[in-house]
Amino acid sequence: MTATAPRGTGAVTPGRGDGGPAPRRATIAARTLRTDRWWVQPLVTVVVLVLFIAYSSFRAFQNAYYHAEPYISPFYSPCITTRCEGDSFPEFFTGPAWISPALYILVLPLGIRLTCYYYRKAYYRSFWLSPPACAVAEPHRRYTGETRLPLVGQNVHRYFLYAALVFNVILFYEAVRGFRDETGEWGHMGLGTLVLLVNAVLLFLYSISCHSCRHIVGGRLNDFSEHPLRYRAWTWVSRLNARHMQYAWTSLFAVAFADFYVLLLATDTIQDVRFF
Amino acid sequence: MTEPGEPSLGGTDDGRGSGAGSGGGGGYDATFRVWRGDASGGDLQTFTVPVNEGEVVLDVIHRLQATQAGDLAVRWNCKAGKCGSCSAEVNGRPRLMCLTRMSTFAEDETVTVTPLRTFPVIRDLVTDVSYNYEKAAQIPAFTPRPRDPDGNHRMQQVDVDRPQEFRKCIECFLCQDTCHVIRDHEDNKRAFAGPRFLIRLAELEMHPLDVRDRRDAAQDEFGLGYCNITKCCSEVCPEGIHLTDNGIIPLKERVADRRYDPLTWLGSKIGRRRPS
């Protein structure tokens, strides 16, 4: 006596990518036989990233409330036009008033996250469903991966890393400027200083834990024994690299929170907590 | 073959060891759905099988074979997670049956066992994995530099640590099975070698004695660009090899050196880098 399992209906079957099983494979109609909640992780990823994109886009286009002496929002740092609030960074040009200063710079932080090896995994799975989870069939008929434009462009990740390292220096510079008070006197510190410092540290850890950084500092070598300093650097970056996903998320939350804190100060919603 | 709840066949010895049976010694009757069939068709069939404390899925499949389904085809060998023979999909997840403990399932949970869905089925749980051997044969072989004057090859342990991680591979092909590039797109098998052979390329590429440049071949002949690093191969590896972080991504970075990075190209032209 046997009992035959019900066939799946309308499911995409692994195999040809067009809904039918490949020749000679086991005929199993279900899209997946996984019984765990495999959809939770991509769903959470979509929700968090959509919320971040919505908030950061709103703030980038808002063109206001990004400066509360002595702090500047990381979304607007470095602020490089003469229309910037405050005077934290050299002002290189005067852009049209309707263009937010954030728009000139955000392409670089956006670029490193878009081409980041971790975020690629996250958005390929959660947004493009390619695949939504391991051993769960993807819905696409054809798949060419990163073999052609535009996705072959992911290989420029290292150049966004170089830009991100410059941004990291600027963010530390802005955090150090937070050790002033509202009048510009040095030797003070507030909760905003701490927020900007934590943001700068997490973004720096995210940058240097990146796979491209690991490759550049020593991963491209085959003879570590002849390059002891680079081997040591590679070992150190490799340890950080194991936590790259954690740094990717915590730095994302940190940068949003730092901006939100400056927003609250700039709109006089709260007063900065001064430590000394 | 029995319906759930029906007494097992097999006379007085139903395959239980001492202490088996519901309510005694941790044994119970589990419901198993096992795919049975061949390339012409098949379906999931339901069995009730005794389970003893401490057993793995392969034990239960063996008991099923011994007591109820004498013609059930299953490939296995070492039963210790070292031969890579008993690869299958347990509740939709690619697993070695010998390393999947029954204690990870609730006693009232139906356990579904199917053959690897990426490869042609031969019969029941046995698949034809010759695709992998064909790809293996295409990998350019180890090409060492000339021996030292005393006839020996010498290398430092620190230089060979990275390739040695990939030598842990037992060729269970679970990574190949779960990789959506070929699991969901049969037509990609021509152009894509799969994660197992991408780490074989990475192993040779990182080897301190090997002098052959496989970067172009990795991209053009073995389809490295198809990998979108969603890391399912790393998730299913029973040996815990970090295929993506330590093998495929470093290989992608080396290909980026060769193909997509003008600075590295320039470095090679002035003699500071390996020729590209």
pLDDT at A96 over 90: no
pLDDT tens figures, A140-172:
999 999 999 999 999 999 999 999 999 999 999
The mean pLDDT value for B110-134 works out to 97
More confident residue, B271 or B170: B170
Residue B171 included in any domain = yes
Q: Is the peptide bond before A131 cis (omega within 30 degrees of 0)?
A: yes
Residue B15 included in any domain = no
Residue B180 included in any domain = yes
The answer to whether residues B152 and B105 belong to one domain is no
Quote helix, strand, coil % in chain B, to nearest 5: 35, 15, 50
pTM value is: 0.89
pLDDT tens figures, B235-258:
999 999 999 999 999 999 999 999
Structural domain that includes position B223: 129-269
| Amino acid (1-letter code) at residue B198 | L
Q: Residue B21's pLDDT is what?
A: 44
The answer to whether residues B189 and B217 belong to one domain is yes
How many CB contacts within 8 angstroms connect chain A with chain B?
185
Mutate to test the interface with A, among B105, B154, B186, B272 (most CBs of A within 10 A): B186
Residue B182 included in any domain = yes
Residue B13 included in any domain = no
What is the distance between the alpha carbons of residues B226 and A134, in angstroms, rounded to a whole number? 16
CB contact under 8 A, A124 and B186: no
The answer to whether residues B89 and B207 belong to one domain is no
Which residue does chain A place closest to B110, by CA atoms? A35
Q: Residue A3's pLDDT is what?
A: 36
ipTM above 0.95, yes or no: no
Report the CATH number at residue B114: 3.10.20.30
Residue B198 included in any domain = yes
* Average confidence score pLDDT of chain B: 90
Residue B139 included in any domain = yes
The answer to whether residues B155 and B263 belong to one domain is yes
Beta-carbon contacts of A193 under 8 Å, excluding residues fewer than 6 positions away, are A71, A175, A178, A179, A275
pLDDT tens figures, A133-142:
999 999 999 9
- What's the structural domain count of chain B? 2
The answer to whether residues B119 and B137 belong to one domain is no
The mean pLDDT value for B146-170 works out to 96
Q: Which residues of B32-48 are buried (b: 16+ CB within 10 A; e: fewer)?
A: bbbbbbbeeebbbbbbb
pLDDT tens figures, A47-80:
999 999 999 999 999 999 999 989 999 999 998 8
pLDDT at A250 over 90: yes
Interface check for A27 against chain B (CB to CB < 8 A): the answer is yes
The answer to whether residues B94 and B165 belong to one domain is no
Out of B79, B95, B126, a domain closes at B126
